[in-house]
């Protein structure tokens, strides 16, 4: 059966198409300064609503459904978090010793940029890796995702994310800060201090012309364009009282927005794409059912630490993977992800993975490679010690259910196949997990373990993570890893079975 027909069949089996989730009614997010008690608010139906009591500098995701923000971590410094626009499903993204600020999303929602201790840093949306850019402050990602604007040493720069090039935009005696892109990516608005006065300016990137927007006794900062680019929101400080103001570009209208005093960090909600994508949300459960199995290779024993792994789909729609190849001479299939839209149509994201046929005594079928990865890391410095050797996964609805009931969970299993089991000559394969279902693998099942042979006694973190390269599109990524803190001991020497004791369980973090 053709891949398109397989997808249509899977949707038919699900019954009626899931209803599109309502777009957030919020039009603006902002925070309150500490003198007002702090917290992040959204303006919905004209009224500010507190969504998280501790946090500053909200930034909307490209699909306008989530907010990144800065809040104190366990160590007290500012760390990067994300949450749904109504305050639900909060998750921590970064775990660093630095102090972070000014987050912003990439256009595809899979990366963010932050300032950390005076440096611009790009981090993945799951916090698993990062890329230093340059010394700088207050970064802002362009709407097309190609450039990052930032201030450094009083001037403005852009970073070309694809080419790795930094371009200077200004060279003045003023102290320029806080650049923000217009929705069309053609202008930057920013604040500049000169001669003890701080005002707003706009730079036309095509012509290089700079226009002054304000000239008053107030101290302006944090400017940002509204969704259509015709107005600016910014913070004015007069007599030590901060308020958010609105300015019409090209016109005389400038007025306070009507929010309470000490409101800061205005973030207008971007225009949401229509129709809404019903994305999956892969939430990884912590490893469970730990056990040691001894295998002999010649005269030397090897000790395998086995564990269960389970990935729940708690999203708005299924994760649907369609793979195909042109002919049987190719040993792999390229995987595409089909995402259902609120309208009932489908959107395809190509090249999200690779399928390979795996011959095994327990299950011979087509596996999607690297859907999950397992690692053992040292607790003290998080250095990698052992990585898994698992070959791949077959996603289906017949293994387990996620806890509770999800709004778009189908009435019965949809993905009921076995990934073309016994058919290495298949030209196309459909696999996936419906909302409310779990992809689960038991301890020691087909490489479901890590080799502890030669691992010194000590404290470690056992990490299970789903979608490790973020190739598959999801509603969020900060919950893709879970972990255990364990102690490994060798009570009778390195050639005897080790003891493994679980010290802590961390369902929402890779750093237990």
Provide CB contacts within 8 A for 191, sequence distance 6+: 176, 177, 178, 198, 199, 200, 201, 220, 221, 222, 223, 234
Q: Are residues 148 and 268 in the same domain?
A: yes
**Boundary (domain end) residue, out of 272, 291, 314:** 272
User: Residue 250: its pLDDT value, please?
Assistant: 76
Q: Are residues 389 and 247 in the same domain?
A: no
Q: Please say whether the beta carbons of 502 and 291 come within 8 A.
A: no
Q: Are residues 291 and 159 in the same domain?
A: no
Query: What tokens does 325 get?
Result: 């190849």
Q: Are residues 67 and 177 in the same domain?
A: yes
Q: Are residues 213 and 312 in the same domain?
A: no
User: 316 pairs with which residues across the strands?
Assistant: none
User: Residue 500: its pLDDT value, please?
Assistant: 94
Residues with pLDDT less than 70, the chain: 1-24, 74, 252, 272-274, 298, 361-362, 391, 493-495
Q: Are residues 210 and 62 in the same domain?
A: yes
5 inside domain:
no
511 inside domain:
no
Provide CB contacts within 8 A for 270, sequence distance 6+: 60, 62, 64, 183, 227
315 inside domain:
yes
4 inside domain:
no
Domain count for the chain? 2
2 inside domain:
no
Taking the C-alpha atoms of residue 391 and residue 369, their distance in angstroms, rounded to an integer, is 6
Q: Are residues 354 and 448 in the same domain?
A: yes
Q: Are residues 128 and 267 in the same domain?
A: yes
Q: Is 419 exposed, middle or buried (0-12, 13-18, 19+ CB in 10 A)?
A: buried
* pTM assigned to the model: 0.88
Q: Are residues 258 and 388 in the same domain?
A: no
CATH number at residue 212: 2.120.10.30
Q: Are residues 138 and 207 in the same domain?
A: yes
Taking the C-alpha atoms of residue 295 and residue 473, their distance in angstroms, rounded to an integer, is 38
**Boundary (domain end) residue, out of 272, 304, 331:** 272
Q: Is 215 exposed, middle or buried (0-12, 13-18, 19+ CB in 10 A)?
A: exposed
Instruction: Read off φ and ψ for residue 13, nearest 5 degrees.
Output: -65, -25
**Boundary (domain end) residue, out of 243, 272, 301:** 272
1 inside domain:
no
344 inside domain:
yes
Return the residue matching tokens 């101290």: 219
Give buried/exposed letters for 72-110 (b at 16+ CB in 10 A, else e): ebeeeebbbbbbbbebebbbbbbebebbbbbbbbbeebb
Q: Are residues 228 and 295 in the same domain?
A: no
Return the residue matching tokens 């058919």: 423
Range of the domain at 495: 278-506
396 inside domain:
yes
Q: Please say whether the beta carbons of 280 and 313 come within 8 A.
A: yes
Other Cβ atoms less than 10 A from the Cβ of 4: the count is: 14
Give the 3-state secondary structure of residue 218: coil
10: enclosing H helix or E strand: helix 3-13
Give the 3-state secondary structure of residue 34: helix
Q: Are residues 141 and 188 in the same domain?
A: yes
Identify the DSSP state of 12.
Answer: H
């Amino acid at each position: 059966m053709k891949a398109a027909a397989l997808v249509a069949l899977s949707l038919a089996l699900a019954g009626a198409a899931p209803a599109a989730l309502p777009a957030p009614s919020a039009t603006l997010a902002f925070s309150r300064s500490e003198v007002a008690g702090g917290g992040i608010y959204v303006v919905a139906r004209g009224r500010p609503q507190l969504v998280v009591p501790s946090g500053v500098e909200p930034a909307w995701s490209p699909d306008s459904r989530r907010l990144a923000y800065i809040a104190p971590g366990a160590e007290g410094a500012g760390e990067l978090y994300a949450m749904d626009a109504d305050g639900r499903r909060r998750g921590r993204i970064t775990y660093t010793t630095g102090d972070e600020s000014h987050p912003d999303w990439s256009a595809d929602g899979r990366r963010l940029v932050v300032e950390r201790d005076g440096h611009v840093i790009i981090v993945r949306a799951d916090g698993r890796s990062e890329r230093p850019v340059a010394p700088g402050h207050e970064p802002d990602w362009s709407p097309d995702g190609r450039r990052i604007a930032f201030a450094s040493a009083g001037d403005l720069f852009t970073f070309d994310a694809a080419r790795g090039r930094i371009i200077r935009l200004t060279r003045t005696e003023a102290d320029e800060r806080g650049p923000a892109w217009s929705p069309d990516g053609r202008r930057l608005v920013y604040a500049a201090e000169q001669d003890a006065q701080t005002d707003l300016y706009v730079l036309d990137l095509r012509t290089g012309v700079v226009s002054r927007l304000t000239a008053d006794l107030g101290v302006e900062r944090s400017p940002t364009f509204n969704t259509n680019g015709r107005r600016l929101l910014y913070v004015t400080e007069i007599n030590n009282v901060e308020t958010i103001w609105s300015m019409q570009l090209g016109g005389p209208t400038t007025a306070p927005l009507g929010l309470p005093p000490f409101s800061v960090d205005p973030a207008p909600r971007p225009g949401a794409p229509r129709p809404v994508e019903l994305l999956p949300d892969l939430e990884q459960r912590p490893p469970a059912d730990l056990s040691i199995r001894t295998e002999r290779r010649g005269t030397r024993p090897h000790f395998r630490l086995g564990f269960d792994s389970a990935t729940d789909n708690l999203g708005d729609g299924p994760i649907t993977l369609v793979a195909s190849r042109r002919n049987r001479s190719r040993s792999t299939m390229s995987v595409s992800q089909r995402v259902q839209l609120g309208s009932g149509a489908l959107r395809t994201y190509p090249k999200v993975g690779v399928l390979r046929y795996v011959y095994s005594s327990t299950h011979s079928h087509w596996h999607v490679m690297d859907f999950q990865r397992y690692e053992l890391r040292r607790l003290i410095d998080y250095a990698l010690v052992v990585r898994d050797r698992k070959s791949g996964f077959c996603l289906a609805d017949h293994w387990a259910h996620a806890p509770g009931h999800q709004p778009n969970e189908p009435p019965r299993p949809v993905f009921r196949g076995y990934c073309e089991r016994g058919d290495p000559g298949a030209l196309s394969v459909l696999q996936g997990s419906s909302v409310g279902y779990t992809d689960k693998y038991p301890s020691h099942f087909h490489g479901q373990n890590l080799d502890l042979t030669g691992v010194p006694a000590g404290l470690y973190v056992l990490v299970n993570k789903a979608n490790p390269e973020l190739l598959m599109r999801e509603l969020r990524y900060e919950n893709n890893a879970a972990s255990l803190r364990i102690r490994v001991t060798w009570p009778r020497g390195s050639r005897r079975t080790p003891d493994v004791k679980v010290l802590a369980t961390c369902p929402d973090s890779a750093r237990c």
